[in-house]
Amino acid sequence: MVALMTETTQGTCFCGAVRVEVTGPAVVQGFCHCTSCRRWSAQPFIAYAMWPSDMVRVIAGQDTLAHIARNADLTMHFCSACGGHVMAVSGKAGLTDVFPMQLHDFDFEPAAHVNYAERVIDMPDGLPKFRDMPERAGGTGEMIAE
């Protein structure tokens, strides 16, 4: 019997104390422009890449990994040593967003912008732009033209 190879990618927080590993391809990648993501990142938008939560694991620095509950469903994880953002876990969706810029040798391939109605900067890049979220993610699915 031949074992199938499963691709894994590792990443770290800013200082390297927390190390994570993701297995397999991200199920969705893109940019979020919502107020919460902007406040969390102190940036005009964030990049995201989500995996099924069982495909993400902390491989070092568990004792340094801190978190804050954004709401009953979303927990944001960061390094307590450097403050670097690591991931956000959605229990309801069963997905974990490991911030793609934290991953080493990861080919970030964004597919869309979400919560584009809340943007503070236009991004005319040809990607689909959802007013809020796609319907399958609980949004209206309404699009905004570039």
Q: What is the DSSP string of 19-68?
A: EEEEES--SEEEEE--HHHHHHHTSS-EEEEEEEGGGEEEEE-TTTEEEE
Query: What pLDDT, on a 0 to 100 scale, did the predictor assign at position 6?
Result: 64
Q: What is the pLDDT of residues 47-104, one digit of tens each?
A: 999 999 999 999 999 999 999 998 888 899 999 999 999 999 998 889 999 999 999 9
pLDDT above 70 as % of the chain: 96
Q: How many CB atoms lie within 10 A of CB 2?
A: 4
What is the reported pTM?
A: 0.90
Does 20 score more than 90 pLDDT?
A: yes
> Are 132 and 117 contacting, i.e. CB atoms less than 8 angstroms apart?
yes
Does 34 score more than 80 pLDDT?
A: yes
User: In the chain, what is the greatest distance between 2 CA atoms, to the nearest angstrom?
Assistant: 54
Counting every residue written for the chain, the total comes to: 146
Does 5 score more than 80 pLDDT?
A: no
